[in-house]
Amino acid sequence: MLAGKNILLIISGGIAAYKVLEVIRRLRDRDINIRAILTKGGAEFVTPLSVAALTENKVYQDLFSLTDEAEMGHIRLSREADLVLVAPASADILAKMATGQASDLATTALLATNKRVLIAPAMNVEMWNHPATQANIATLESRGVMRIGPSAGDLACGEVGSGRLAEPVEIIAAVIDFLEGQPVGKPLAGKKAVVTSGPTHEPIDPVRYIANRSSGKQGHAIASALTAAGADVTLISGPVALPDPAGVNVVRIETAQQMLDAVQAALPADIAVCAAAVADWRVADEAGQKLKKDGSGRIPDLKLSENSDILATISKVGPNRPGLVIGFAAETENVIAHARAKRVRKGCDWILANDVAPGTGTFGGDENEICLISGENAASDEVWPRQDKAGVARALVQRIIRHFP
């Protein structure tokens, strides 16, 4: 079905341009024809020779080249494609697209095209979050421009947040979906999702609390990835040192009871992902004043009470039960066996099992290794390779997309 399809690829400036070479190679493996326009900024990161070698076509750069105009005018260049792909799409080219500028070959071709356009934004997190960029994105999407990404994670500039170019496999999948007549960009549009993230703090007295080592990185990444897929996301977060994901409704809590109350207030929802590391116990009698040593050597007698089970509570059958309930099993031994038993005990649909034993670096770290358990035996298990937590989030969202019709 894909052989003979034509793509006009516009490569704008940005360090992520190197990833597009892999996109070209994989699309050519499917016999998709690619003509490329390389902007002046794009040529600072990838060479015309490398793009030409992979596309097996001439690379176009100059609007005013009479030779190029004789061979392939910018009108024909934009009209003979089945899809126009802009990757990476810098803040600059998005602004020019939104305002209808035609200052170089790339923007002229974009203004002249009568074909669908798919953009893959990539830029610094502050540039992405800037109201001007968000307004430009809204304008382009209102005109029918499709979008894949950006993702959240570590950026080339050293900052963390939304702005990473979608991975090549995601861009390729979006292109193939479009060419095969499938929806692109917002497959979870119209779906409502609730995500929990981070630890909970259970107070002992006004200055001390019981907590765990959760950083919230995985839950925040999942909220961001769900939003990028078009879902309406409420993120209920314990105390973390992370920026709020763009486009997400964030509810901040401290205790397990507050988290449960916030989750129930956010229902009904289509999807619930319980990624928070909720404290199992709380102090039964919180001290009103700071507990102090009196020199006697006596240790306070802290009586603990069990916290409500958020995952089990929302997994119960009822009118507000989400259509898909996903939990996490953070284990230090017998990871798969404990996770499989937890899925049955809690009544949720899926469990994502991960090893948080000392030395794995999972708690508080940037990477995770996941086994998705959706049944009671190993035949249905899906083992995902170790990757950064943003990659885990994207993989989970792709799996969620396949779950819904």
Q: Are strands 83-89 and 117-121 parallel, antiparallel or unpaired?
A: parallel
- Any catalytic annotation for residue 157? yes
Q: Are residues 113 and 84 in contact, defined by beta-carbon separation less than 8 angstroms? A: yes
Residue 342 assigned to a binding site: yes
Instruction: Measure the CA–CA gap between 249 and 373, rounded to whole angstroms.
Output: 28
Residue 290 assigned to a binding site: yes
| Positive or negative: CA dihedral 384, 388, 390, 391 | negative
Residue 363 assigned to a binding site: no
Residue with tokens 């099993």: 329
Adjacent-strand bridge partners of 371: 353, 383
Residue 366 assigned to a binding site: no
CA-closest candidate to residue 366, choices 164, 172, 211:
164
Q: Where are the alpha helices (DSSP H) in 56-167?
A: 66-71, 74-79, 91-99, 105-112, 125-129, 131-142
Question: Who contacts 394 (Cβ-Cβ below 8 Å, separation ≥6)?
Answer: 151, 167, 170, 225
How many CB atoms within 10 Å of residue 354?
A: 21
Instruction: Measure the CA–CA gap between 9 and 25, rounded to whole angstroms.
Output: 13
Residues in the annotated binding site: 280, 290, 328, 342, 346
Residues in the annotated binding site for CTP: 280, 290, 328, 342, 346
Catalytic residue IDs? 157
